[in-house]
Amino acid sequence: MHRDGVLAGPALTVKTRPGDNLMLHKAIDMAQPGDVIICDAEGI
């Protein structure tokens, strides 16, 4: 994604702990073309 781009589509949301990417991999497996994955890994 870049500053001038537009992003729209069905969202898959993921909330996980820092360093734990298991649910992110699951979301990637579940995503269909055009889906948007939003991930909160509680980063600082």
Predicted confidence at residue 5, as pLDDT, reads 81
Both tokens of residue 28? Answer: 């990637």
Please answer whether residues 18 and 42 qualify as being in contact, where contact means their C-beta atoms are separated by less than 8 angstroms: yes
- DSSP annotation of 21 reads -
Quick: pLDDT tens for 1-29.
567 888 889 999 999 998 899 999 999 99
Phi-psi region of 34 (alpha: psi -120 to 50; beta: other; left: phi over 0): left
Task: Provide the greatest CA pair distance for the chain.
Answer: 31
Model confidence band, residue 44 (pLDDT cutoffs 50, 70, 90)? low
Q: Can you point out the beta strands (E) in 1-44?
A: 11-15, 36-40
